[in-house]
Amino acid sequence: MEFPFDVDALLPERITVLDQHLRPPARRPGTTTPARVDLQQQIMTIVDELGKASAKAQHLPAPITSASRMQSNRHVMYVLKDTSARPAGKGAIIGFLKVGYKKLFVLDDREAHNEVEPLCILDFYIHESVQRHGHGRELFQYMLQKERVEPHQLAIDRPSQKLLKFLNKHYNLETTVPQVNNFVIFEGFFAHQHPPARKLPPKRAEGDIKPYSSSDREWGLPQGW
């Protein structure tokens, strides 16, 4: 995905980590910034356009990732840049992965209710023109190392079949723990929670299990990455 400004200069590294502040990363020594260029606005443009592309890939009515959403939540966005030579000389973006910690109420393998706050996969997209080249795994692996988390510790909201196959192929995640909400967790999730999951009293028969998380969940994962 290309932009009308210099992506290579804006994002010096192969993978850039953005938080709610959406600040441009430190620039390499010797590089110059064109006068009157709002670098943060360029970052926001990248986030917005990636969010639109992700929404289109999963046929959503509206993007679930945007600059405004990033600024209002403590999410982290990993942006993967194409470091190969580009005709225009401005670089391009391959895709992104967005994660964040959420308070969830989930069931364990004994169907007991647990209050947990795991790292959640919130959005994952690789541009259609460069899929099946290992970029998704590169980005996912970088996130795991940066966040110091194992794949089985993650919670995923409404994952596509494509993502489930990805996790099975690269991380041997296959057996899920059935839930009554939109989240998917895998076998081993409760054995490695830090801090340990807090078990809740049994629900009354007529009670609904809610909320699914501490905030309304209105998004799923993109199909194309």
User: Which residues are annotated binding-site positions?
Assistant: 124-137, 160-169
Q: How many residues in total does the chain contain? A: 225
Task: Report the relative pairing of strands 119-126 and 92-101 from DSSP bridges.
Answer: antiparallel
For residues 57 and 44, give the distance between their C-alpha atoms in angstroms, rounded to a whole number: 20
For residues 96 and 132, give the distance between their C-alpha atoms in angstroms, rounded to a whole number: 15
DSSP label at residue 80: E
Torsion angle, CA of 38/41/43/45, rounded to 10 degrees? -140
Per the annotation, where are the binding residues for acetyl-CoA? 124-137, 160-169
Cβ atoms of 24 and 7 closer than 8 Å: no
